[in-house]
Amino acid sequence: MSKKTIDVVTIGESMVLFQPLIEGTLAYAPMLSKSVGGAESNVALSLQRLGKKSRWISRLGTDPFGDMIISTLAGEGVDVSKVIRDSDAPTAVFFKESKGYGDPNVYYYRKGSAASRFTKEEIQPNWFADARHLHVTGITPALGDNTTEMLKEAMIQARKEGLTVSFDPNLRKKLWDEEKARTTLLSLIPYCDIFMPGLEEAQFLVGERNEEDYCSVFEELGATLVVLKLGTRGSLTKLGTTMIKAEPYKVDYVVDTVGAGDAFAAGLLSILLRDDMPLAQSALERNVESALKRANIMGALATQFKGDWEGCPTKLEVEHLEAGKQTTTR
């Protein structure tokens, strides 16, 4: 039996992000900064900072933007050896503007991108053979004609290989029709073990319920562990008949909310994957409360900086926060 050297595999599109150097509209910004963004790569990068070995799988164009994404992730230690390069399709880009109030405006240019051409025939057994866990999001099914089938097949194959699977719906209404989004996201829940919607996403998928009821509803659809993100009110889950709620990590102000859910996912997985069988009842009883606590810390910290992942803390920094300690900085 081969040694599991990869803690988490992620599959999804990453893009080059452009945003004004100072707050304001894109129309009048004289200069833009350039960085890398994408839900799945955000999780992979954050997990690396937290001491877990991650692999990111995607399709990129054979262009400078694709080169930049590869270099950035590899530079942080993420395994990018399974990334497919496509000479006939471009790497996607997106733009973000913040006006100093509310969530940032995001503008995507990803139609016809290399990642939108993903097909299930491209899935390789070596994607999962040396890995423990697969993390995917609901963004991928929205990208192209065949990406839903690809993602579903990847989830099926990963579980056959013995991996656990987490699924963040990560709803992006700009990318697809709402009814199609709802139907598709619900159809993927039976293929995951951990489902982690935000409260608004849960409402979108199954309508208004009591917060505690959402866990039961999604368990009935097939998930083993349902973690509900409550934003500034923390998060909750259910073990058996017991509801467990973790209080939020308080921050004084919010700079940028983009990437907070991805940081939350990385924090949660970094604790759950301490055990070889993370979803065993005994393992969940040991770990789930501390996993929610770390997830809340990571999600809150992600709102404190511009960019999707660059300000993500290290394992030592998070452990200091969890213990109520101050990190020595000078």
Active site residues: 262
Phi-psi sector, 55: left (phi>0), alpha (psi -120 to 50), beta: beta
Q: In what order do the strands lie in the sheet with 105-109?
A: 32-37, 15-20, 93-97, 105-109
Q: Are 269 and 47 in contact (CB under 8 A)?
A: yes
Q: Are 173 and 201 in contact (CB under 8 A)?
A: no
* Residues in the chain, total: 330
Ordered alpha helix ranges (H), the chain: 39-49, 64-75, 147-160, 178-188, 199-206, 211-220, 260-272, 281-302, 315-322
| Total Cβ atoms within 10 A of residue 42 | 30
Query: What is d(CA 235, CA 251) in angstroms, rounded to the nearest whole number?
Result: 16
Token digits for 229? Answer: 């993100």
Query: What is the CA 260 to chain-centroid distance, rounded?
Result: 9
Query: What is d(CA 16, CA 73) in angstroms, rounded to the nearest whole number?
Result: 12
Query: What is the CA 94 to chain-centroid distance, rounded?
Result: 17
Query: What is d(CA 4, CA 224) in angstroms, rounded to the nearest whole number?
Result: 22
Token digits for 188? Answer: 């993927």
Token digits for 157? Answer: 């194959």
Q: What is the largest CA-CA distance in the chain?
A: 58
Query: What is d(CA 22, CA 15) in angstroms, rounded to the nearest whole number?
Result: 21
